[in-house]
Amino acid sequence: MSKRPMLQFVSTAKEMPLKRDADSRAHDFDEIYAEYAAEKAAEQASRCSQCGVPYCQTHCPLHNNIPDWLRLTAEGRLQEAYEMSQATNTFPEICGRICPQDRLCEGNCVIEQSGHGTVTIGAVEKYITDTAWDNGWVQPIAPREERPESVGIIGAGPGGLAAADVLRRAGVQVTVYDRHDRAGGLLTYGIPGFKLEKDVVMRRVEQLEQGGVEFVLNCNVGVDISFDAIRGKHDAVLIATGVYKSRAMQAPGVGAAGIVRAIDYLTASNRVGFGDSVAEYESGELNASGKRVVVIGGGDTAMDCVRTAIRQGAQSVKCLYRRDRANMPGSQREVQNAEEEGVEFVWLTAPNGFAGNPVEGVMVQKMRLGAPDATGRQSPEVIEGADYVEPADLVIKALGFEPEDLPTLWGETALEVTRWGTIKADFRSHETSLPGVFAVGDIVRGASLVVWAIRDGREAADSILTYLSQPAQVAAE
Ligand SMILES: Cc1cc2nc3c(=O)[nH]c(=O)nc-3n(C[C@H](O)[C@H](O)[C@H](O)COP(=O)(O)OP(=O)(O)OC[C@H]3O[C@@H](n4cnc5c(N)ncnc54)[C@H](O)[C@@H]3O)c2cc1C
Ligand code: SF4
């Protein structure tokens, strides 16, 4: 029986001391619920009314067969539940941990909608697959026959890995290129360890490696190897590079020391979690310990930064957002978690400059919500004469991400992009303007979700298999 607990079944935020180690939450639960998870999973699963109108399933991007695997879990048939769950989702235990279920499956559960509290679908999904790992039901890929065709995948995030899994199961030779030293993309270096334990990601990478997927790491396509060379080596190519250009901020003093990008801050923190020695963390540049931290932004990345800063032992953590709580893009559940951990949200505020170098404070303008714009959303307006300075030793910019200019970086102008710089790809086949080149995940959608990247990766792999079975097309390349 699994020793892994279901973290989401009870709210613990109030019991948690502030400023904890990154992974202490998981350990707390291991101790408390070590013998409890199976009963709790069955209890939750049996709450599913098998309503016959599975809105949960239609609102899951992977259309997971939720009612059926809940029924199997309630009946204690966990191995069958696992088989069913993994048939539609490459990484169920990862989605179970980090999908915004309140906006997807759980938010559309009819029990939730009738006011009785959702079935905790994500937690059950996580439990089923964690149990499968613990019991040895998750095995390396063993294709029935090897195929001669090879596919090059650029980017080892969830989109690229999901595609690698499907292609390898079909016997295709798969090579995944990534500029980082570890695979996983934002699962590894973006999302903090207290939301997604890194051993959970790494065991999936190992499973793919053991199944014959080749990883070429520390390989920045466009620098260490050309895109053209990758196309020349493989019968088809999948681009799954994500979006990494941080949105810029224009304000006097923004270049001062102590003002850092969210992605750098989170990557450093995740590296430290792996036990790496990170010079910028050691020097304090990317370490919130003992500091007055101000995070600018209201999305999920900002939430990850404020909660990481608390865990690093910040003296205080404030989050500036130019709209109010009701209008912020980040998950309300994350805001509540952050508040319970000691983060102060300063709604309706925006920075208009920075004092000192190294930074000593953020010049803050107070805002109010004005008339709705064309989309119906109220625009923030400055309240004149209400500026003040917020003291800060570390400022983290979390204003979102944009795509890098791949056609220029890769010298491939025939690769068509949208006006936002995302790659243009057919929404069904995921094929780009270049024959035999497909694209998935954030580099097509813009910053999105893990579950959408997985869906894209699986769909693109199916399209690639169709493409590879058209010999005339491959031979013509
Ligand atoms: C801080 C943060 C927290 C998030 N939290 C959540 C969450 O809780 N739940 C959720 O569902 N989503 C979350 N997301 C979004 C989610 O992580 C992404 O939508 C998802 O990872 C996109 O997958 P992807 O495969 O398209 O790209 P990525 O995961 O970004 O992977 C792309 C990979 O491509 C590699 N790469 C890029 N360019 C090159 C190149 N030129 N050569 C070689 N390799 C290259 C990168 O190194 C990276 O490994 C979060 C995002 C961030 C930034
Ligand atoms: S993949 Fe995400 S949306 Fe789908 S059932 Fe799992 S947690 Fe819900």
Give the residue, out of 241, 263, 396, 404, with the most ligand 1 atoms within 8 A of its beta carbon, to mutate for a pocket test: 241
Q: State residue 333's pLDDT score.
A: 81
Q: In whole angstroms, give the CA distance from residue 230 to residue 221.
A: 8
State in Å: Cα 453 to ligand 1 middle: 9
Cβ of 2 less than 6 Å from ligand 2: no
Q: State residue 52's pLDDT score.
A: 84
Q: State residue 477's pLDDT score.
A: 47
Give the residue, out of 60, 102, 154, 186, with the most ligand 1 atoms within 8 A of its beta carbon, to mutate for a pocket test: 186
Q: State residue 31's pLDDT score.
A: 40
Q: State residue 36's pLDDT score.
A: 62
State in Å: Cα 403 to ligand 1 middle: 11
Residue 462, sorted as left (phi over 0), alpha (psi -120 to 50) or beta, turns out to be alpha
Taking the model in full, what pTM does it have? Answer: 0.91
Low-confidence ranges of the chain (pLDDT < 50): 1-33, 474-477
Q: State residue 471's pLDDT score.
A: 63
Q: Which residues line ligand 1 (CB under 6 A)?
A: 98-99, 154-160, 177-180, 185-186, 190-191, 195, 220-222, 240-242, 266, 300-301, 304, 441-442, 448-451, 453
State in Å: Cα 242 to ligand 1 middle: 5
Residue 52 token pair: 């016959």
Ligand with the closest atom to the CA of 187: 1
Give yes or no for a contact between 73 and 124, defined as CB atoms under 8 angstroms apart: yes
